[in-house]
Structure 1
């Protein structure tokens, strides 16, 4: 691949999002692989800075894990709409356009929280939203901007958009981990969802970039799993005394600013590229619960300290 006027037989990766969760994990994986990579210094909306990073690193591939999700959650975006547009729309398009003009492959870790169960895709039917389906969820401003920019990004022939959902890692006290979040809540909804087990899927994304895959990819494990099923696994492997309570969508709406997306994504495309990918429950057991069960006492103490109990 030609990038910045040079040729390279070995991929050179440039990572955006060095201070973020997924960006850090990607860097660690590339380091373990002995790959050539560096982190970008520029923000997505800084065109001059991005060009300086291109000149400094001379990448063949850009991996973008930068963007605004809000802190402590996506409700933040409801009150910061201009900042959200500036990064998630203008910044993302800026990066994609510069990568295209410099013949650089771009993989961006986006979101699958742009769909919601409806009459055509009812909960429990087993029918998942495909890469070709039009997003139908605009309940949160965050999801609104991500759906908008995905529709534009698909026109770029050099871009791979990965739809991440409810990302999970093995660290059960890491605040961005979906399991950590629901362990901390007093009450949870109980809805089946597609989810992304990062320890299994992140290495696949690096391979996708090397293969030069483009377009949209539902970047989740096959199948779906409910909140209660995850809590049952936590109780089975970590804390036999763990208890939780459920509430419904209407009750949840009273404690959040923006509705949340719940959906099942079709995974035929990623299964076609990686037939070895595990169904969501099997992946959770292998990559999260079995490793934590080996150090159960230490994990349990850390979780209880996090929960203040």
Structure 2
């Protein structure tokens, strides 16, 4: 599959065509008129990767493939081999083959490999930088992601983007972070770095075109808490919406693996894109204002989703 456009420009090949971010990347490339293809290979199959690269001859590879688990990362705790194959072996395969061919690869990784601690306290404003060593391996998902980031960063052709708690405007989409916390009976109230995909995904394509490499904290500047997001939902969409809090200790009783909470430093990405909005302003522009324009429809859909 390829969009019509200037065929003399970059040629993108997307891995992860059945995934959420892979699908959004295809939509973005199609909208911009860029030439792109959807890879057929599974990342564990090196020969199939080579066949795809020979077939489509990309100048840029976008790797949005991997396992996060269904319905959440707890799945990875009992499916460790599948997680290793997809998140470690597969990613290394693709990075290595691309490097052999001189192809730039953008890897959509995760920032859920850090956690607030004594050196990075909550609400201190001190964020983890790209060069900081991951300090969170509480979930097997995060464990494999920290391992593969440490290995893939050695490839000179790779840009690693640390995605966190990704958000889109569709408040009923099950993988949207806001959708998840709207559905929960109780939430923790901890500020986190987050990734507003409608704003940031187009920038990732521009990063690929610029052939940036190394690690990039791929979040909007600043942090926002679960309560602040739900309060925005009440303000813009449904004044009758209610929620309750519980502690991290109480949360631990209803999940299998611990969750990461952190603030990522955004000096590098803001240096590349000074227009990047802080997290609260980005949420208002890309999520809450568009939904407020169709408030009744959104409110009804969310209440039906919650069964209330």
Query: Same fold judged by TM-score > 0.5?
Result: yes
How big is the shift at 1:9?
4.9
Cα distance in 2 for partners of 1:83, 1:26 equals 24
Cα distance in 2 for partners of 1:258, 1:238 equals 32
- What is residue 283 of structure 2 aligned with on the other side? 284
How big is the shift at 1:10?
1.0
- What is residue 299 of structure 2 aligned with on the other side? 300
- What is residue 32 of structure 2 aligned with on the other side? 33
How big is the shift at 1:52?
1.1
TM-score, length-normalised on structure 2? 0.97
Counterparts in 2 of 1:49-198, with a 5 A limit? 49-198=48-197
- What is residue 3 of structure 2 aligned with on the other side? none
- What is residue 266 of structure 2 aligned with on the other side? 267
Counterparts in 2 of 1:215-294, with a 5 A limit? 215-294=214-293
- What is residue 199 of structure 2 aligned with on the other side? 200
Match of 1:216, SS state, is: strand
The one-character-per-residue Cα deviations of 1:122-173 (angstroms, maximum 9, x if unpaired) are 0010000000000000000000000000000110000000000000000000
How big is the shift at 1:94?
0.4
Cα distance in 2 for partners of 1:82, 1:54 equals 26
- Is there any run of 5+ residues in structure 1 with no aligned partner, and where? 1-7
Cα distance in 1 for partners of 2:169, 2:273 equals 21
- What is residue 3 of structure 1 aligned with on the other side? none
Match of 2:165, SS state, is: coil
Match of 2:216, SS state, is: strand
Cα distance in 2 for partners of 1:176, 1:110 equals 16
- Is there any run of 5+ residues in structure 2 with no aligned partner, and where? 1-6
How big is the shift at 1:56?
1.2
Cα distance in 2 for partners of 1:9, 1:109 equals 26
TM-score, length-normalised on structure 1? 0.97
Cα distance in 1 for partners of 2:8, 2:150 equals 32
- What is residue 10 of structure 2 aligned with on the other side? 11
Match of 1:213, SS state, is: coil
How big is the shift at 1:48?
1.1
The one-character-per-residue Cα deviations of 1:226-259 (angstroms, maximum 9, x if unpaired) are 0000000000000000000000000000000000
Cα distance in 1 for partners of 2:85, 2:18 equals 19
The one-character-per-residue Cα deviations of 1:48-75 (angstroms, maximum 9, x if unpaired) are 1111111111000000111000000000
Cα distance in 1 for partners of 2:298, 2:64 equals 28
Match of 2:212, SS state, is: coil
| Divergent runs of 4+, >3 A | none
Cα distance in 2 for partners of 1:141, 1:299 equals 35
